[in-house]
Amino acid sequence: MQLPFSSPSHRLCTAPMMDWTDRHARYFFRLFSPKLWVYTEMVTTGALLYGGNPNRFLNYSVEEHPIALQLGGNQPELLAECAKMAEAWNYDEVNLNLGCPSPRVSSGSFGACLMRERTLVAECVKTMSEACGLPITVKCRLGIDYDDDYEFLAQLVEEVGKAGCHTWIIHARKAWLTGLNPKQNRDIPPLDYERVYRLKRDFPQYQIIVNGGIQTLEEGLRHIEQCDGIMLGRAAYQNSSILLDADNFCEDRFETRLSSNDFLNERYAIAKTYGSYLEQQLKLGVAFRTITRPVLSLFNGCSGARVFRRTLSDFSGTPTHAQALDLWHQALAKMVNPD
């Protein structure tokens, strides 16, 4: 039986991260590989439908494909309207957030707390699927608070899967909605990858992507033996060079791993391409710090990396267009002829 997965495969994904995975970060990630799936920050239905400027949330560079729009909300009709907007903007997937533990999100009755409302989630997914032709996927936790046994998760997947969700991204730790803040929820509840693996065994008809705590693609290879893909969050943002092996990972050919010198050459080539993008964005009035923030970790571990980061971030005021380009070229020169 052919599985109803999105194409290309979700073997390697970068996570939706509020205040981090903006369009500049996604464009930067895409330079590492055409095979990555990239996800937007979570956008609420209210922001899209009533915020007055949907372009602010929906516009992206065509190079970002394949790209998924992550939505936050709990009203099927509103989510369906947003799914239709995603289709009109030529997104490749719509992802429903059932994992955010933020008190602000929970107060709106969406995010992780929705895991308790599986019949409502199923209705949301069904209504969204009927409204547009895009795949509707779900990102969730293992559980929430004391609703954290395997049966709780399996019942959610079974009911919502029948409604049309065939790809699940599972953050392999539960969420504590009381007593822990969102930052603590990224680290304190223990990871339980075995539970995600069991979910794949019990629901082989679905694509199961594991997320949470994965620091390297070498670690990812172990997960791929049990699941269909991995999702990288902070690891990709804080040490983006791990994505240099993205194509090898996606094609399961790590025997062709690059040498350290090739890694430096590859990083420099990515920086050169990103420099052209930076110049375009500066002409559109985007702030220099906003454009350069995603690239700060590109040369981590290389001689000159600290000066590269300092040149791009340690300046006062708002540089003019010419000053911004000069800063960029100064920083890049440190990686060609590091002190």
- Catalytic entry in 100, 140, 165, 227: 100
| Residues paired with residue 211 on neighbouring β-strands, in sequence order | 171, 231
Q: How many CB atoms lie within 10 A of CB 248?
A: 16
Under a CB-based contact definition with an 8 Å cutoff, are residues 92 and 59 in contact? no
Question: Considering Cα of 107, then 109, then 110, then 111, what sign does the dihedral take?
Answer: positive
User: Do 114 and 73 touch, CB atoms closer than 8 A?
Assistant: no
Q: Is 215 helix (H, G, I), strand (E, B) or coil?
A: coil
Give the angle 73-139-141 at the CA atoms, nearest 5°. Answer: 105
Residue type, 57: F
Q: Which helix (H) or strand (E) holds 201?
A: helix 193-202
100 is catalytic: yes
The separation between CA 31 and the C-alpha centre of its own chain, rounded to angstroms, equals 15
With a CB cutoff of 8 Å and minimum separation 6, the contacts of 131 are 80, 81, 83, 84
Q: Helices 305-313 and 321-336: crossing angle, nearest 10°?
A: 170
Residue holding tokens 């070498």? Answer: 218
Determine the Cα–Cα distance for residues 173 and 15; give it in Å rounded to an integer: 15
Which residues are tagged catalytic? 100
